[in-house]
């Protein structure tokens, strides 16, 4: 199930339409360097030659190859520029199948993972005890062997070679709590990046897809949950990039009756 997450999320992206704004890059620098040829007569031996400067090699112009996003996914953090694109889909039991596309500014030789810190989620989710299972990690599209396929405490994955591009798939469990005194079946879930040890201002874009999803909220520094959803149901995005240090999203959703 977990191995089909990215494909299903990409199909969902096509079905419900793009919701994240593609980042527009500026024009590329002109790749031609003009050369001038002097028409003045050659200087006498006693005069410093002005041809020395003109004979020095012209400065090279470096072109940066644009990074294309994976098929069916938007340009932006995690796909074409440093950051994380987190895509989540809840199931009927309140678990979230999650894919994180991670692009760092510089290659690293180790990647840190840690359980979701939900302190800022507020009192309504105090009963949640996040744990990530069924973890799959690739680095530059190559599978990374993990000693454990779950994250219940911080751990570090050592890489065979420096890498800046990762794909992390997992199932986030025990993060959904039913809401008392509300619409029958209404619940709150909390999601955020599993990857840690990255710059606190690394941008994180979040997409949540599913017919049970109702709204998204982003906790503020005052522990108040503020609506931050954009797009149309059943595909919602957070209406701005979140800095990694505060990248926590509350998902309002409907669950079926307990069996």
Measured at the CA of 21, the angle between CA 19 and CA 23, to 5 degrees, comes to 150
**For residue 74, what pLDDT band results from cuts at 50, 70 and 90?**
confident
This prediction has a pTM of: 0.74
Residue 7 has pLDDT above 90, yes or no: no
Distances (CA, A) of 7 to 47, 69, 70, 71, 148: 71, 14, 11, 10, 24
Q: What confidence tens digit (pLDDT) does each residue in 216-230 have?
A: 999 865 545 688 999
Question: Between the ranges 6-10, 136-140, 255-259, where is the mean pLDDT highest?
Answer: 136-140
- In the chain, domain spans: 2-14+71-254
One-letter-per-residue 3-state SS of the chain: CHHHHHHHHHHHHHHHCCCCCCCCCCCCCCCCCCCCCCCCCCCCCCCCCCHHHHHCCCCCCCCCCCCCCCCCCCCCECCCECEEEEEEEECCCCCEEEEEEEEEEEEEEEEEECCCCCHHHCHHHCCCCCEEEEEEEEECCEECCCCCCCECCCEEEEEEEEEEEEEEEEEEECCEEECCCCCCCEEEEEECCCEECCCCCCEEEEEEECCCEEEEEEECCCCCEEECEEEECCEEEECCCEEHHHCCEEEEEECCCCC
Q: What confidence tens digit (pLDDT) does each residue in 135-146 have?
A: 999 999 999 999
Class of domain 2-14+71-254: mainly beta
Distance CA(104)–CA(198), nearest Å, equals 8
């Amino acid at each position: 199930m977990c191995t089909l997450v990215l494909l299903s999320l990409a199909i969902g992206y096509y079905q419900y339409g793009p919701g994240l704004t593609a980042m527009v890059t500026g024009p590329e620098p002109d790749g031609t360097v003009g050369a001038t040829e002097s028409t003045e007569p050659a200087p006498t031996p006693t005069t410093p030659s002005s041809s020395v400067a003109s004979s020095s090699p012209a400065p090279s112009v470096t072109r940066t190859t644009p990074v294309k996003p994976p098929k069916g996914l938007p340009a932006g953090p995690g796909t074409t520029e440093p950051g994380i694109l987190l895509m989540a889909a809840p199931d009927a039991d309140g678990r979230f199948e999650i894919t994180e596309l991670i692009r760092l500014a510089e290659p690293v030789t180790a990647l840190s993972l840690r359980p979701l810190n939900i302190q800022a989620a507020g009192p309504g989710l105090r009963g949640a005890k996040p744990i990530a299972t069924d973890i799959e990690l690739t680095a530059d599209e190559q599978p990374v062997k993990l000693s454990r396929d779950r994250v219940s405490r911080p751990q570090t994955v050592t890489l065979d070679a420096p890498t800046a591009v990762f794909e992390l798939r997992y199932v986030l469990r025990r993060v959904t709590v039913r809401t008392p005194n509300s619409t029958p079946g209404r619940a709150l879930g909390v999601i955020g990046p599993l990857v840690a040890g990255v710059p606190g201002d690394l941008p994180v874009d979040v997409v949540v897809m599913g017919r049970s999803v109702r709204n998204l909220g982003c906790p503020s520094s005052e522990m108040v949950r503020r609506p931050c959803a954009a797009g149309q149901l059943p595909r919602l995005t957070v209406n701005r990039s979140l800095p990694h240090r505060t990248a926590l999203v509350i998902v309002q959703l409907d669950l079926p009756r307990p069996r």
